[in-house]
Structure 1
Amino acid sequence: MNFAEIAIRKRVVTLVFTFLFVGGGIAAFQGMSRLEDPEFTIKDALVVTPYPGASAAEVEEEVTDRIEIAIQELGQLKRIESKSDRGLSNITVTIQDKYKREALPQVWDELRRKVGDVQSRLPPGAGPSLVIDDFGDVFGVFVAVYGPEYSYAEIKKFTDLLRKELLLVQDVAKIQPFGERAESIYIELSRDRMAQLGVSAGQIADELRKKNLVADSGRVKVGEEFIALFPSGVVNSVEDFGQILITHVTSEKFEGSEGQIYLKDVGVVRRGYVEPQTEILRYDGNVAIGLGISTVSGGNVVTMGEALRKRVDELTQQWPLGIEVGLISVQSTAVTAAIQAFSSSLLQAVAIVIVVLLVFMGVRSGFLIGGILLITIIGSFVFLQPMGVALERISLGALIIALGMLVDNAIVIVDGVLVRLEKGQNAKDASIAVVAQSAMPLLGATVVAILAFAAIGTSDDATGEFCRSLFQVVLVSLSFSWLTAVTITPVLCVMFLKPSSQSGGEAADPYDSAFYRRYKGLLVRCIAQRWVTVAAVGGIFAASIFGFGFVDQSFFPPSTRPQFLVDLWMPQGTHIDDTTAQIAAMEEYLEQQDGVTHVSSIIGTGAPRFLLTYKPEKSNTAYGLLLVDVENAELIDGLAKNLEDWMADHVLEGMGYTYKFELGPGSNGKIRARFNGPDPAVLRRIASETQAIMHADPTAKAIRTDWRQRVKVIRPIIAEQQANLNGIQRTDITRTLEEGFQGARVGVFRDGDLLLPITMRATEAQRNDVSSIRNLQIWSPAVRAMIPFRQVISDFEVDFEDEIVWRRNRKRTITIFADPAVGQATSLFSRLRPQIEAIELPPGYALEWGGEYEDTNNAQAGIAASLPLFLLMMVLVTITLFNSLRQPLVIWLCVPLALIGVTAGLLLTGQPFGFMATLGFLSLIGMLIKNAVVLIDEINVQLAAGKPPFTAIIDSGASRLRPVSMAAATTALGMIPLLFDAFFAAMAVTIIAGLIFATILTMVVLPVFYAIVFRVPSE
């Protein structure tokens, strides 16, 4: 079946369908989702279990370990990581890569059942466990509501209103507040007054629980009615608490209240905010409340962002002056800017390709192929939109990468028609003949080019999912380019291409120009000196292998987002107020720097996940994060360096470091050495040795461990005999300590729809004075009176303990982090690795490498798992095309030689060979094979026409020189806009440099290999 003949005969139908594809493509483009970066599924869930009062070691052994054993029964499990803090177990459950997004809800349900089953085996006081399966939700809009002249309560009022209104905006999924302060009813008791009156904290707690307890009073039948009984006496206001009767006493102890003691007699009741805060948000130095806003699945980020901005503007105009909404991160703005930039790059690339075609193919042919290119690009959207492909960095970049390949098929057809026109054939016969000759070889070459990208399209890990749209775009656009090449292209050739006035019939030789004669002469000499040619190419190839060892390696490049991050780690155990004070000093410094526009600060935890590639830190009062907005990304390096120098002089107690966002999966801590083993002391010793090695390298920064420092613990030593005589148990002592300082929860207060905890504690002066611990009063049931704490405590010890214990796959694991101060992480890693691996480890201890090394290996393993299959398919396609083994052998002998151009390009430009460069190299293989298939097919055609083998090789080279060179030129020059994009630069260099040499391989070295394999003698 000749597609061209059918298309030409049904010209009207062909043109109508072409216009329909163009119109449908434009409509599909308008309806496609828009993102800054592609989405990938975070296959993690958190299992959080409280165990109040337990040390990290107790949490690990009694809670974390038991839950981990239950979770390990999940067949879908990939990895368990746990963090055991004092009083809290945090377990991160990671599911195997092969499970898609749609399967996760069922997996999480099974996880809940496993965790639920183990609850009965947890120690008293532990639990219940909470499974958080929306850990990977992305809040594309993150704003801060603040007002320097307004109280927190007033700011919260406006924040609640804003949240309520914005939930009604189209495509908004949910809104999560951040930095809110919970309220509490505080009962601050005077220890002296309680001792004087003989009132215990237990008595007060019992009365509070009884007074505010909801209990059923039953019902009574009155006539035909059955009426509920509901006595009064419930506490309805803060003032009512003071009137709660605690006990009766004798007049000798207390006068003035007829022997009755009320709560107001021993303490003060007030309504306030929970202290200390667990998370704090500041915006430009002002206390703020944040709102993280996520988009519904399949929603349009840009449309939602514009609607949110409009609604916020409407609401703020109704608010009093001074209430502001600060934009911490607005994905729609970044998406719009990114799509505009990439659309501009795409248009530039299309323009470059068309100009190249006009210069080398002539005006008429150039515009014809340029038109086919536009039809192919626009028509591809008809298929991409239903596939769920969004407009984002990868998909738009894939179009630019594919541009040169998209015109390859059309160039071959048009060039073949032009040659036949010059020989005197009419356009119709020429078009039909060229398509009949080239359709199947072009289809095979197109399939090979697509298969070169298939490994990334089938990789199940996060990196594969992140880059999947690259394969989808190449698959659709290249397939459609072949279809347009064999249908609409011959129709347009018949309509617009005419024989030139110089056409000389069959006798004319279009390859008799000086340029072609010089090329033929070169080819003749290379084939004549075939072994010299092979030796020269082999020497260059060996040099490229050696030179590749000097190419920097990386995973993904840093983002060009005009915002950078600053992590602050104070000594473990630092109060959140002290961490905030240090953050405030850093804010003050940054606000004085030129180029800084805004500074957002988060203290006590990481920020909500406002970017998919951002991984929040877990809760820690010693941790603070700054998000620094700058005028443009070029300022980041200078500002970050100045800030790190300032922190070295002013952050004396802690450690601060800066880093950029990543363009892809990954995080800071690019170098991670993980040691696992049973004994925490041994792990810390090994970690200290590792840190010493890292500190000795001047290019290493941000060196730290995830176990942090050991913290002080005040340990009262109970005098067992005296405690027993006074009827005092350990639980009485722990409760007294809690009530005396931090405060103990003794009930809840109902205020409308709010349930406020009631917290009982000492007065501020007493609870902030640690020396008063000896003078605490504790109730003695034996003597029925308050006695001094020192009567049942023999001594106090100050001890040190691990406040954090990390485990990985149920093994205690300590991780040491480092980042490069300059250059690539791989260079630093190559220096540190042999020294760290030389550390002598006791039996039962092991080292694993994480960070960028692990991420790169995992990503490459995801590709490598399916790459052999697709390479085999590529080989089989070439064998099927030629029904031969020797011709595919000639093609595949050239493939490794593409490394020559790649090595030269990366070394000359200084670009690293990262994950995207790896994809570029795979695509380069597809391009090389595609061009080689076209040349080998032409040799077969020439041989079938009766030419001698040597003449067939020379004439085929001349015949394919223009289309192959044109395809290479359009691809290479079309990639120029990507050279200025941080994400695609290394990939662009790989393809451009590799393709330049691959063209030489195809047009010179491949004919030499052909002559050797087929033993073609020189003439």
Structure 2
Amino acid sequence: MSNQRFNLARWGIEHSQILIYFMIVILITGTVAFFQLGQRDLPQFAIKTMVVSVQWPGASAEEVSQFVADPIETKLLEVPWLKDVVSFSKPGEAWLIVNTEGFMPDASSRMKDRFYDVRKKIADIAHRLPANIQGPFFNDEFGDIFAMVYSFNSEDYSFAQIKNYAEKARNAVVRIASVEKAILYGVQNEKVFVELDDKRVAALGLDPLQIGLLLNQHNQVQSSGRVDGQQNHYRLRLNDRFRSIEDIQKMPISLSDGRVIYLDSVAHVYRGYEDPPSFRMRVNGEASIGLGITMREGSQLLSMSDQVKAVMAEFKQQLPVGMKIALVADQPKSVAAQINRFLNKLTLAILIVLIVCYFSLGLRTGIVVALAIPIVLGVVFVLMYVWGIGLNRVSLGALVISLGLLVDDAMIVVELVHVKLEQGWDRLKAATFTYTATSKPMLSGTLIAAVGFLPVFLVNASPQEILGELFVVISAALVTSWVVAVLLTPYLSFKLLKVNPSDHTLKQQDGTVVVDMYQTPFYKKFRQLIAWSMEHEKSVIGVTVFLFALTIAGVQHVKMEFFPGNDRPEALVDVWFPEGTSYQQMERQIAEIEQKLSEQQHIENIIAYIGGDSLRVQNDMYIEQPNANYSKIVVIADTLQARENIKSMLRDYFSTHHANLRTRVYSLTYGLPFNYPLQYLITGDDPEVLVTISDQLQQILQNDTSTRDVHDNRREKRLVVDITLDLPRVAASGTAPAQLSKTLRAMLDGLPVTQYREGNDLINVELRNKPENRHQLDRIRLLQ
């Protein structure tokens, strides 16, 4: 007995109490671990991108590129892990998109150090940048995922009132432990406008900039000293700050002749909103404010969703009539659907195993095989919890793949036990024989199947962060299924299988009774097929080669995609307006598109973002930089077929309408964020040559029937009005060109001169001219 080799199946049968104990523990802990696993749409991966923005009012695009973007790009080349820097220069502003190298372990935590390096490098050259630039500003939270987005709108309340309620909702939501951040999006900033009557100002001999200086001086917050008494000291405070709009209107202005007038005698002072708006969010045609919510790392998405919805439901009860709240982006809904699909497939897999085994080997055999599934999954769920792998499309996909593989080993073992029992073996011998006969071949097959997914895990590129879990989960499931097959399945077979020896296969050979299982009609036909194949080996090899060649030819017609299409219901529309298009014109054309969409069926929500992009609601969503001539429309359909119908309708619509727009209709795809699947980079020193090459390349691509939306990122030239100064007369008047430029900006664009403080809000007080002088080009020469 001592010379017997160790047999894991025998050990399990002999120590059945321990085996049963661990089986119960695994079922319980696996169930608990499953409900504790984090949930996401995709595995968490770092968006290795940082956005640097700089403003230089008054500079041309060439000046911004030469004196701002180029020095920063050159300095950032010193960063060793830099992948590339993409800069966009426009009149008065520049954006630099800093991309780091593709793959690195533990990217999320290490990105903070890399982004800090970018800040330090740019700080080193800050003294070399133009003196009057604004910034640089850094956005190192560019990759935040807003799992839930609510919209607030009302026809009966002002933007300020809507914002007030949205802020209260944000304050309530951000207290939830699983919520990391809640931000308001599309807020229309309030302003106090001081619109000067330029003729009256000139008649009184006033300087508009001097009026702005007076507004600032009347509203400064500064110490006025204190008086130290014998027992107490007293702080002094001048009561000169603006405490109401009326205070601003009644600000005194001293004239050169000694008279004192009030500001409202030369200006219209009123409270309003940014005009024109720089960005606006619209939901179903109504201007709205968005509330974006991100999840804290390590939290459960569905649990956070339930808590947020409970808080918002309670908050809705406090809202006045006419205030509307809608959930316009709901990632938890998509994740819940994925988990439900997996549970349905798990249930279906167990039923299929039971049914197949029942008709082939009997119900007891099916139960033995089916029990292996929850045991294996219980172990896998515990390992996923320990390794920090949550439930997402990749891990759930790996589990679905595993469902088709993890019963193979158990099926081999239970079928072998069944056969040996039919041959007359006792149950202990039959159960323990499975380990001797099958453990090593099954282990080899299991490891080979797992290694098939190893390249995805070993690839030194960003896709590893997304697909690496595929290898980990499948390997864990397959190796666990082998352990269960050689340890637990023999025990369950020993206890549950009751098979009588097959009478029809008994025969006598030299007086010995031998059970032969392979004399049935099926096996006789199968034996004949094998014998024929051995005798006609050339024919068999020829058929094999032909089928292989047919496979190679057929694979050319299979659609190739590394990442599959997205099954989210959104159809997205990028809309690029010609450079210099006014906000009012953009809003009118977006409203026409919204009207067309509202006529369609099977649409739940239409969300438009005018002057910028939406919040990132999914890891692989590409976000455009803020741009005054860009808008995005997100159409949420109620089914995937409806989404495709809407995309087709929009493409047909844009082919005959809005010829001045550049549009792109698409839906999201899983994987890394990118805006176009195929992009060419054309580099060189001569812009005119680059334009020529680009036009030629676009023509080639447009002639290809498999392409659409072909264009480059070159934008139209904007109209500029050059003003030639009579410098001797300017000098004689005692005015500097810089002062004239600032005055024009104040009169036309508006010049912030101070801030009106109300509650927790700081509201800019902006000096500008009357509307009739701001909106007509020919009135500039009449400004005084």
Category of TM-score, reference length = shorter chain: over 0.9
CA distance in 1, matches of 2:418, 2:659: 76
Residue of structure 2 in register with 1:753 after alignment? 760
**8 Å contact 2:342–2:400 — kept in the other structure?**
no
| 1:435 CA drift (Å) | 0.2
After TM superposition, give the deviation of residue 668 of structure 1 in Å. Answer: 4.5
* The one of 740, 743, 748 aligned to 2:747: 740
For 2:287, the equivalent position in structure 1 comes to 287
Determine which structure has the larger helix proportion and give its number.
1
Matched AA of 1:143: Y
1:714-766 CA distances to partner (integer Å, 9 max, x unpaired)?
12123344434444433223212212211122233333433222221110111
Give the count of matched residue pairs. 770
Q: State the Cα deviation string for residues 153-182 of structure 1 (Å, max 9, x = none).
A: 221222122122222234121111011011
Map residues 551-566 of structure 1 onto 2, 5 A cutoff: 551-566=558-573
Of residues 714, 723, 731 in structure 1, which corresponds to 2:730?
723
Task: Give 3-state SS (helix, strand or coil) of 2:621's partner.
Answer: coil
Mapping for residues 429-578 of structure 1, pairs under 5 Å: 429-459=429-459, 461-502=461-502, 504=506, 507-578=514-585
The equivalent of 1:20 in structure 2 is 25
- The equivalent of 2:648 in structure 1 is 641
- Which range moved further: 9-18 or 51-60? 51-60
Q: What secondary structure sits across from 1:271 in the alignment? A: strand
SS at match of 2:405: helix
Q: Does 1:40 align with 2:31?
A: no
1:581-610 deviations in Å (ceiling 9; x for gaps): 111111112112122222111111110112
Alignment of 1:123-522 (within 5 A): 123-250=130-257, 259-459=259-459, 461-502=461-502, 504=506, 507-522=514-529
In the TM superposition, residue 327 of structure 1 has moved relative to its aligned partner by 1.5
- Matches of 1:349 and 1:484 in 2, distance apart? 18
What's the offset of the Cα at 1:68?
A: 1.9
Deviates more, 1:694-703 or 1:383-392: 694-703
Is contact 1:281–1:601 with CA below 8 Å preserved after alignment? yes
Residue 531 of structure 1 deviates from its aligned partner by 4.2
> Is contact 1:350-1:403 (8 Å) kept?
no
The question of whether the paired residues in 2 share the 8 Å contact of 1:242 and 1:269 is answered with: yes
Which deviates more from structure 2 when the two are superposed, residues 358-367 or residues 157-166?
Answer: 358-367
| Counterpart for residue 878 of structure 1 | none
The reply to whether residue 120 of structure 1 matches residue 93 of structure 2 is no
Unaligned 5+ segments in structure 1 are 251-257, 778-1019
Aligned equivalents of 2:649, 2:442: Cα separation in 1: 56
Q: Separation in 2 of the partners of 1:141 and 1:697?
A: 40
With over 3 angstroms needed to count, the CA separation of the structure-2 counterparts of 1:357 and 1:576, relative to structure 1, is farther
Letter in 1 for 2:216: R
* Alignment deviations for residues 634-689 of structure 1 (CA, whole Å, 9 cap, x no partner): 11222222233223333132133321122333445233222122233322222222
**Alpha-carbon distance between aligned partners in 1 of 2:262 and 2:299, rounded to the nearest angstrom:** 58
Task: Quote how far apart the aligned CAs of 1:532 are.
Answer: 4.1
Deviates most, 313-322 or 215-224: 215-224
- Identity, in percent, stands at 28
Q: Which amino acid aligns with 1:137?
A: D
Residue equivalent to 1:84? 89
- List per-residue Cα deviations over 1:763-786 (Å, max 9, x = no partner): 011111110112223xxxxxxxxx
- The CA distance in 2 between the partners of 1:202 and 1:14, in whole Å, is 87
Q: Secondary structure at the match of 2:86?
A: strand
RMSD between aligned alpha carbons? 2.2
Cα drift, residue 557 of structure 1 = 2.9
Contact 2:566 2:670 in 1 (8 A): yes
1:213 Cα deviation after fit: 2.5
Q: Structure 2: which amino acid aligns with 1:467?
A: L
Q: Deviation digits for residues 502-535 of structure 1, max 9, x if unmatched? A: 2648722222323223333333333344344334
- CA deviation map 1:43-75 (0-9, x unaligned): 212222222222222222211222222322222
Task: Note closer, same or farther for the CA distance 1:737–1:688 as it changes in structure 2 (3 Å cut).
Answer: farther
Supply the AA of the counterpart residue of 1:737: L
- Following superposition, the deviation at residue 358 of structure 1 comes to 2.9
Secondary structure at the counterpart of residue 663 of structure 2: strand
Partner SS state of residue 281, structure 2: strand
- Residue aligning to 1:2: 7
* CA distance 1:98–1:170, shift in 2 (3 Å): closer
Mind listing any 5+ residue stretches in structure 2 that lack a counterpart?
1-5, 507-511
* Equivalent in the alignment of 1:98: 104
1:274 deviates by 1.9
- Is contact 2:570–2:667 with CA below 8 Å preserved after alignment? yes
Displacement after TM superposition at 1:499 (Å): 4.4
Aligned mate of 2:664, from 653, 657, 664: 657
Moved more, 562-571 or 665-674: 665-674
> What are the equivalent positions in structure 2 for 1:579-728 lying under 5 Å apart?
579-697=586-704, 700-728=707-735
| 1:625 Cα deviation after fit | 1.5
Q: Distance in 1 between matches of 2:580 and 2:108?
A: 38
1:234 partner letter: R
Pairs within 5 Å for 1:784-795? none
Structure 2 distance, partners of 1:711, 1:131, is 27
User: In 2, are the aligned partners of 1:170 and 1:307 still within 8 Å (CA)?
Assistant: no
Counterparts of 1:753-792 in structure 2 under 5 Å?
753-777=760-784
Per the alignment, in what secondary structure is the counterpart of residue 722 of structure 2?
Answer: strand
The question of whether the paired residues in 2 share the 8 Å contact of 1:119 and 1:127 is answered with: no
Return closer, same or farther for 1:216/1:674 CA change in 2, 3 Å cut-off: same
Match of 1:915 in 2: none
> How much has 1:125 moved relative to structure 2?
0.9
Instruction: Tell me if the contact between 1:580 and 1:624 (Cα under 8 Å) persists in the aligned partners.
Output: no
Distance in 1 between residues matched to 2:356 and 2:140, nearest whole Å: 52
Task: Give the TM-score taking structure 1 as reference length.
Answer: 0.72
Letter in 1 for 2:57: P
What's the counterpart of residue 75 of structure 1?
Answer: 80
Contact 2:252–2:263 (CA<8 Å) still a contact in 1?
A: yes
Give the aligned residue type for 2:225: G
SS in 2 for 1:16: helix
**Structure 1 residue identity aligned to 2:158:** S
Q: Distance in 2 between matches of 1:731 and 1:679?
A: 33
Deviation at 1:554, TM superposition (A): 2.5
> Are residues 412 and 464 of structure 1, via their aligned partners in 2, closer, same or farther at CA, if it must alter by over 3 Å?
same
Whether the 8 Å contact between 1:358 and 1:366 is mirrored in structure 2 is: yes
| 1:331 Cα offset (Å) | 1.7
Deviation at 1:142, TM superposition (A): 0.5
Quote the offset at 1:697 in angstroms. Answer: 4.2
CA distance in 2, matches of 1:772, 1:763: 11
| Distance (Å, rounded) in 1 between the aligned partners of 2:480 and 2:636 | 43
SS in 2 for 1:714: coil
State how far apart, in whole Å, the 1-side matches of 2:412 and 2:341 are. Answer: 32
Q: 2: CA distance between counterparts of 1:338 and 1:373?
A: 19
TM-score, length basis structure 2:
0.93
SS at match of 2:453: helix
Shift in alpha-carbon separation, 1:69–1:353, aligned structure 2, 3 A:
farther
CA distance in 2, matches of 1:143, 1:456: 37
CA-to-partner distance for each residue in 1:128-164, whole Å, 9 max, x for gaps? Answer: 3222211111111101101122222221222122122
Question: Could you tell me which amino acid in structure 1 is paired with residue 336 of structure 2?
Answer: T
Tell me the SS of whatever aligns to 1:40.
Answer: coil
- Give, in whole Å, the separation in 2 of the partners of 1:563 and 1:484: 43
Superimposed CA distance per residue, residues 797-850 of structure 1 (whole angstroms, 9 cap, x where no aligned partner): xxxxxxxxxxxxxxxxxxxxxxxxxxxxxxxxxxxxxxxxxxxxxxxxxxxxxx
